[in-house]
Structure 1
Amino acid sequence: MSKPLMRIPYTEVFPPPHIIPSSAKTFDGAVDALKEFLTHPSPRGLPASTVLLSGAGLSVASGLADYRGVNGTYRVNKTYRPIWYHEFVTRHEHRKRYWARSFLGWTTLQKGHPNAGHLAIRDLGKLGLVSSVITQNVDSFHPRAHPDVPTLELHGYLRSTVCTSCRHEFPRDVFQDELARLNPEWAALLARAVASGALESENPDERRAKGIRTNPDGDVDVPNAPYTTFRYPPCPRCLAEPPVLADGTRGVVEVDAEGAWKPPSNAGILKPSVVMFGESIADHVKRSAEAAIDDAGKLLIAATSLATYSAWRIAKRAKDRGMPVAILNIGGVRGEDVFFAGLDPLQKGSQGVRAEMPTEKLLPAVVEELRRGSSNDSTIRDIATPLERDGSAMFKDLLS
């Protein structure tokens, strides 16, 4: 594979965090600090609700790989790099490789379920403490776990494919069936991998022992696999009626005898409905993320190192608005000291929290503690419920 024109940001380990408040070094202390953060009134002039920003670490407990965690791909697989957008849209051979690996990884994603961390976010929404979620994850676990708490999928989603020519979306599971039809040998390989249990193990060493290397976002690498033999279908709409290209000419969409996209086609290319590395986030998604921040009074950051600028800028916007910030992440976070500058050293969580605990354990414990005290505590009842009082209904409209 050719050398990338751009580098992946921040693949090395960040400095360890400074826990805030110091009591949050223990599990019970972290629970108390986060409870204080969520229930304390927002600074004057800011809405009462909290917006949550999540990353890949939240789905590790669901059996998915992440990028920069303890067993993240950038730590255990130093040669790994994801495909870049310009490679995908311009190179047939790169698309073969991408779709072959995605074909093998889709089974794990499809069988995956939201974990206790996702469900705790649902419960925080029901308690009126989290009004909306911005996620970098593309696994669709957030909208499945809490459909009543609106989710902005900042980097898109893997549940659909989208045509790079006509922009029409198609269900990923239907696309998977087409890949299996066009690649019977690969379908047999997938069946063997599933039967061996290699795709179900959460242990990266066990997967490698069985000839499988699992990376984030449904990417599965089988060493020495014949990726050049893999075939993928075109956009059916563009096949039926080739689109007009940007230069005004009619696009070409040709298929082989079984219906696979083939050169010299220059249109009708399907890609996952995700923002690939090197691809820009749509303007309306950026505006929706900004609206979510502006409609909230606090920001809870869960299971992300904020290594990508798209996430960092959201957190920085919150800080610049004077919003208290809480960060729950195993390991360091990009430039995290800026989010806790100027805090009262005696504050117990109302002004900010930095904890290093698994989200699938800490968040449910916080919910349980909040429920235990809610019957005699008016604080939760006085906080705005999701989509009410603080303008979050406008955010929901932006996402519909």
Structure 2
Amino acid sequence: MKKPLMRIPYTELLPSPATIPHTARSLPGAIAALQEFLHAPPPRDLPTSTVVLTGAGLSVASGLADYRGANGTYRVNKTYRPIYYHEFLANHEARKRYWARSFLGWTTLRKAQPNAGHYAVRDLGRLGFVSGVITQNVDSFHPRAHPEIPTLELHGYLRSTVCASCRSEFPREVLQAELARLNPLWDAFLQEAIATGALDTEDPREKRARGIKMNPDGDVEVPDAPYTTFRYPACPKCLASPPPLADGARGTVEVDGDGAWHPTSNAGILKPAVVMFGESIANGVKKAAEDAIDGAGRLLVLATSMATYSAWRLAKRAKDRGMPIAIVNIGGVRGEEVFFVDLEPGQPGSQGVRVEMSTDSLLPALVEELRRPGLWTLRSSPEAGSIQENEGAVFKNMLQ
């Protein structure tokens, strides 16, 4: 039996990246190498389209936290460990902690906007170079920045919640309002943090002084906060009509007097509509990602260490098909030597590119160069392919 495809973080220190070709150490050199990559005909009669695979580093310029530091270490905040799927389903207290931290972080995530890197991907699509995007990110910036380019959200999205029992989806904004209603002290704490700018500062020292730690995926940690006091709602559909369990027995969904999920329940648990660490990716999403790779002739990897196997295997699939691969990422990439092992010496970028630069500065510069008249003959837009569209310490006493 095949092992399920799961989102598991790779926690080892990643090797220092090479620069391919060697002329790509400077910004003009990197742009020239990527131009060669995008214009050279793919080998073996592969399609002329390029598919893009992106990761958390692309959203850092939007003010969101990355999973890894600049050298590829698993977060600067070494105490942070994302919750695993089995923990979330099995442990009522773990869910309280998750939803409390997500409640505090949602405001920051909701008001964040796509950055220059996302819009550069849009422009690459308009110029005819990109047919679709596969993203590991759950912030929905890609579909917002370029709705005309198909985007497959490999690990789901935070804009919705989903019931673990009946699989019904609900807007995250609806849950946020319910969490505020069920937790008035936490809501007052959040409003105070917003009013004082505690969630907006980018200064790590100021964050520490205010007792707040910002983590990936909208997670905000407040040391010593009483997470056990937090309450969250049940799935309204399961509450109205409890679903059958896997063994055929009738599920039980009970709530307290305010409508908060009660631990006597065995169903109706809402979770973020993301693939949590340790959770299997849906077969349909897996197949769509494979089809996107198989329908393209090049792979452009942006701002990801590919620490999750679900992403790395897609790049390996592209390599096995003979697709040229370009990687733009600050810090190391898991097993990146596999993707460049057989390149001809002196190739200018047509066979592969590895650049260690920020996407929010490199990609707009690349687009500007590609727009210059007379340098290249642009192709007409390729077919869209088979990607499915998808849409602190100062305040914690208030919580006692």
Is this contact kept in 2: 1:88–1:95, CA < 8 A? Answer: yes
- 2:233 alignment partner, SS class: coil
Name the SS of the counterpart of 2:30 in structure 1.
helix
Paired AA for residue 189 in structure 1: F
Structure 1 gaps of 5+ residues are: 1-5
Query: What residue is the counterpart of 2:382 in the other structure?
Result: 385
1:137 aligns with 137
- 1:74 CA displacement: 3.1
Q: Tell me, what secondary structure is at the counterpart of 2:86?
A: helix
How far residue 183 of structure 1 moved from its aligned partner, in angstroms, is 0.3
Percent of pairs identical after alignment? 71
Q: Displacement, 1:197?
A: 1.3
Is 1:363 aligned to 2:363, yes or no? yes
Give 1:218's aligned residue: 218
TM-score relative to the length of structure 1: 0.93
- How far the C-alpha of 1:44 sits from its partner, in A, is 2.9
Measured in 1, the distance between the counterparts of 2:194 and 2:152 equals 32
Equivalent-residue separation in structure 2 for 1:168 and 1:9 (angstroms): 27
**Secondary structure of the structure 2 residue equivalent to 1:88:** helix
Q: What is the CA-CA distance between 1:247 and the residue it aligns to?
A: 1.0
Matched, 1:395 2:364: no
**1:3 match:** none
| Equivalent-residue separation in structure 2 for 1:114 and 1:371 (angstroms) | 22
Equivalent pair of 2:58/2:360 in contact (CA under 8 Å): yes
Secondary structure class of the residue paired with 1:185:
helix
**Distance in 2 of aligned mates of 1:192 and 1:16:** 43
Kindly report which structure 2 residues correspond to 1:19-38, keeping only aligned pairs within 5 A, or say none: 19-38=19-38
Distance 2:28 2:73 in 1: 31
* Other structure's SS at 2:371 match: helix
Is residue 126–residue 385 contact of structure 1 (8 Å, CA) maintained in 2? no
Q: 1:115 touches 1:360 (CA, 8 Å); kept in 2?
A: yes
The answer on whether the counterparts of 2:61 and 2:360 sit within 8 Å (CA) in structure 1 is: yes
Contact 1:212 1:220 in 2 (8 A): yes
Gaps of 5+ in 2: 1-5, 392-400
> What is the CA–CA distance in structure 1 between the aligned matches of 2:328 and 2:282, rounded to whole Å?
28
TM-aligned CA deviation for residue 376 of structure 1: 5.9
Please report how far the alpha carbon of residue 293 of structure 1 lies from its aligned counterpart in structure 2 after TM superposition: 0.2
SS of corresponding position for 2:387:
helix
Q: Is 1:321 the equivalent of 2:321?
A: yes
Q: How does 1:112-123 map to 2 (within 5 A)?
A: 112-123=112-123
Equivalent residue number for residue 204 of structure 1: 204
How far apart, CA to CA, are the structure 2 residues paired with 1:324 and 1:203? 40
- How far apart, in 2, do the equivalents of 1:238 and 1:396 lie? 29
For 1:124, the aligned partner's letter is L
CA distance in 2 between counterparts of 1:205 and 1:293 reads 43
Which residue pairs with 2:108 in the alignment? 108
Superposed CA deviations along residues 313-356 of structure 1, whole A, max 9, x for unmatched, are 00000000000000000001111111011111111111100001
d(CA) in 2 for partners of 1:206, 1:372: 44
Describe the superposition over 1:185-237 as per-residue Cα deviations: whole angstroms up to 9, x where unpaired: 00011111112212112333332222110110000000000000000000000
Contact 2:57 2:66 in 1 (8 A): yes
1:224-235 equivalent positions in 2, closer than 5 A: 224-235=224-235
SS of residue paired to 2:74: helix
Instruction: From the superposition, tell whether residues 139 and 72 of structure 1 become closer, same or farther in structure 2 (CA, over 3 Å).
Output: farther
C-alpha distance in structure 2 between counterparts of 1:329 and 1:350, whole Å: 18
Which SS does the other structure have where 1:131 is aligned? strand
Aligned match of 2:89: 89
The structure that is helix-richer by fraction is: 1
| Contact map agreement 2:18 2:354 (CA 8 A) in 1 | yes
Contact 1:73 1:216 in 2 (8 A): no
CA contact (8 A) 2:7 2:276 kept: no
Instruction: Quote the Cα distance in structure 2 between the aligned partners of 1:42 and 1:383.
Output: 16
For the aligned residue pairs, the C-alpha RMSD in angstroms reads: 1.7
List aligned pairs for 1:10-89, cutoff 5 A.
Answer: 10-70=10-70, 74-89=74-89
SS at match of 1:395: coil
SS at match of 1:233: coil
Deviations 1:379-399 (A, max 9, x none): x1x354342xxxx1x4347x6
Residues 145-156 of structure 1: pairs in structure 2 closer than 5 A: 145-156=145-156
Which residues of 2 match residues 153-164 of structure 1 at below 5 A?
153-164=153-164
TM-score by length of 2: 0.93
Aligned residues: 386
